[in-house]
Amino acid sequence: MEQSVSGLLFTLDSSCSDSSLHLSSSALTVTFTGHMISSHDRSDQGSCPLPQVCGSVGVSRGQYYWEVDVCNSAIYRIGVISSCDGRGWWLERRDSAFHAVFDGRRELLPSVPPQLKTVGVFLNVGGASITFHNPVTQEFLAAVPSHFSVPLRPALQLGQGRLKLRPSLPPPNHVFLSHSSAYRGPGGVGSVRWRRDVTFGSVSAVIQKFEEMSTTSDSDSGLVSSDQ
């Protein structure tokens, strides 16, 4: 079934923002204003929770894309959370280490560059997958498959610096087929170092596989306001 992908239009919701986070007047930039996280907590395998802010919309079906500028922070998570059970699916950075966090797992992504400036997020609700991309270099970073509990809300967690949201962007072509993306081994997210001499296959093929496994229909937009 042919499906459209749209840029997700939303802002950050001050009503569900931690007190140590400050939102700009546009509700597109979030700044950490709390106490500096200690070096022990930074390296404590992600057990130290980070302050969180959610997006202003929830989605129950469909495919959406947005970006987050991350060049002014070294401690953050970017992803989505379930409004039902509070579970989250994240790309996490703590100093120079990146992880995919999902379903109680936290897997190292050894080849994500620390100089990463922007993260592109592609959410396929019916396909049960969220993928992360580097829109500057057009590289694929990580895929996090799961059976989501909808509705889902975009979310940010922040422990240092600031993040800037870039919503409602059209998805770039490399999200579906990135010839310069790095290959990931079959052992799971981040299980081996990526090899740049092997062409990464079509992301859309991976998404199609998850769609075939899913019983959720994506025939309509699935947008839900956060205040519903």
Mean pLDDT of the region 106-117 = 93
Give the three-state DSSP class for 14. helix
Token pair recorded at residue 50: 């980070």
Position 32 pLDDT exceeds 90: yes
What fold characterizes domain 6-216? Jelly Rolls (2.60.120)
pLDDT at 58: 96
Percent of the chain with pLDDT over 90: 58
Q: Give me the count of residues in the chain.
A: 228
Return d(Cα 107, Cα 130) in angstroms, integer.
Answer: 15
- 104 pLDDT band (50/70/90 cuts)? confident
pLDDT at 224: 61
Partner residues linked to 99 by β-bridges: 92, 108
Mean pLDDT of the region 169-173 = 88
Cβ–Cβ under 8 Å, residues 133 and 123 = no
pLDDT at 131: 94
- Mean pLDDT rounded to a whole number for the chain: 80
DSSP 179: T
Domain boundaries, given as residue ranges, for the chain: 6-216
- Other CB atoms closer than 10 Å to residue 201's CB: what's the count? 14
Position 95 pLDDT exceeds 90: yes
Alpha-carbon 123 to chain mean position: 8
Give the three-state DSSP class for 197. coil
Partner residues linked to 53 by β-bridges: 156
Cβ–Cβ under 8 Å, residues 154 and 88 = no
pTM of the model: 0.77
- 43 pLDDT band (50/70/90 cuts)? low
pLDDT in tens, 184-205: 333 444 433 333 333 333 444 4
Report the alpha-carbon angle 116-78-173, nearest 5.
Answer: 65
pLDDT at 203: 42
Mean pLDDT of the region 99-128 = 93
Mean pLDDT of the region 213-220 = 44
